[in-house]
Amino acid sequence: MEFTFISIILIIFIYLTAKINKLEQNMKQLKTSLEQVMKEVEIPEHPINGRLYELIQDGKEIKAIKEARASLGLSLIEGKEYIENLKNNMNS
């Protein structure tokens, strides 16, 4: 009985993990497509980015994350990723 229950839980776990991985792949593809569309249409950057670039250059990344979260309504993780992306854009 316990073996059957554990087997079912394991199968469900593997199934959900596979679904999550597939969703992550889809999100990456959508992000890439969106970035390509943005380049084609030449959508201007968000106005707050200028201020965020300044904060990043001054070494105030935490303050930049806070301002990005406040102005864009991002979670902490999203804000950190947003600032990391801006940093990468500055370096490239």
CATH at residue 50: 1.10.10
Cα 86 to Cα 57: distance, rounded to the nearest angstrom: 11
Q: Which domain holds residue 82?
A: 18-91
Tens of pLDDT along 43-80? Answer: 778 889 999 999 999 999 999 999 999 999 999 999 99
Tens of pLDDT along 6-29? Answer: 999 999 999 999 999 999 999 999
Asked if residues 52 and 67 have their Cβ atoms less than 8 Å apart, the reply is: yes
Q: How many domains does the chain have?
A: 1
Q: Which residues contact 69 (CB under 8 A, 6 or more apart)?
A: 75, 76, 78, 79
**Token representation of residue 19:** 């679904």
What is the model's pTM? 0.59
> Is 42 a member of any domain?
yes
